[in-house]
Amino acid sequence: MQYSVDWANVVTSYMKKQLADIALPSAPRPGLNIKQTFKGVLSDSDTRDRWISRFVYCLKLLRTFYSEGLVDSRTYLTWIVQQMSACNLAQISFITRLADEYLDGMLGSRPLIRPFLHACLSKLSEKPGTIHVEQNSREVCQILQDNLADIKRRNEAMLFRSLPIHVSARLGSDVSDIKLLNSISSLTNMESLQFFSHSTGDEVGFAEKLDMLLTWSVTPLQFGDHRPFAAVTLIRNWRMDAADRATRRHFCPPDEFLQDRLFDWLDTSDIANDPDNIRSVSLLFGKLVKYELFSYASYVQRLIARGEIGLSTIEVRRTKAR
């Protein structure tokens, strides 16, 4: 909103005026020492206390304005970056304090954090004691370069770029499957999307793909509330195709086979049994039950048959099934 930008400009203009009161002494004239020629606001205890009191009060107001969205965050953070570049060595401690408090806001924006880091390194080079400062600057630059290289490798890995040459066929297939699932959107024709193989004899391959699909649909490492619905739709489409093939060839229907595979995933998957994922798993299996892809009654009967404990609501001990 424009009002937040305007108010951010008002606040930063006032803070800039306060910071302008802090100046470095100029070179003393012959015959006079610095104390006789320099009357900075921080050099006198009374003016220092008054200045600090006003500055602290301004920071308290700013925290409230920032948290409530009354000042535009990008305008304010941009101002901090600009002040880090333009401030003198007497002002830098105050600017650094501001930057430290609002660093999280800058870290998510490359156009902000890059010039901010350059400004910090530039100020290090201006500091007296050049030998130690230059050494520290080189060390900081090396750390930043190493971290940026590591971030680049991780980003490329998440985007499935620069994969090792000797990658296994299974990994290559998994990468393709994840890309396919992540491409699903509201515009995707789910009827024509082929995720499962039409092969009827590859039970291991189907189980691996089903495990990937179910994990993708509930893991917090992926994004999109549509994922459980997309997974159920893909399983429904597979079940209908498999049922048609079974009818034509006089095979057993796929319902029992699918029930066993879903049970195995729910029983053994670490993702499924993570307490943080219980809502996503419940939503997923609620949809599977709704479309008769998973039988809750058969699930409970199987748990009882193997002597599963913890099914009663009065029992304290909790199990995966519970």
Among 38-42, 168-172, 247-251, the least confident range: 168-172
This prediction's pTM: 0.47
Q: Residue 160: which region, alpha, beta or left (left: phi > 0; alpha: psi -120 to 50)?
A: left
pLDDT band at 126 (very low <50, low <70, confident <90, very high): confident
Residue-level pLDDT at 256 = 92
Of residues 45 and 219, the one with the higher pLDDT is 219
Torsion angle in degrees (nearest 10) through CA of 161, 167, 170, 174: -10
Residue-level pLDDT at 34 = 45
How many residues are listed for the chain in this entry?
322
Between CA 308 and CA 266 the distance in angstroms is 14
Between CA 270 and CA 275 the distance in angstroms is 10
pLDDT band at 315 (very low <50, low <70, confident <90, very high): very low
pLDDT of 36 higher than 80: no
pLDDT band at 37 (very low <50, low <70, confident <90, very high): very low
Between CA 262 and CA 214 the distance in angstroms is 9
Find the mean pLDDT for residues 52-77: 92
Residue-level pLDDT at 38 = 45
Instruction: Report pLDDT digits (tens) over 233-286.
Output: 999 999 998 888 888 888 888 899 999 999 999 999 988 888 988 999 999 999
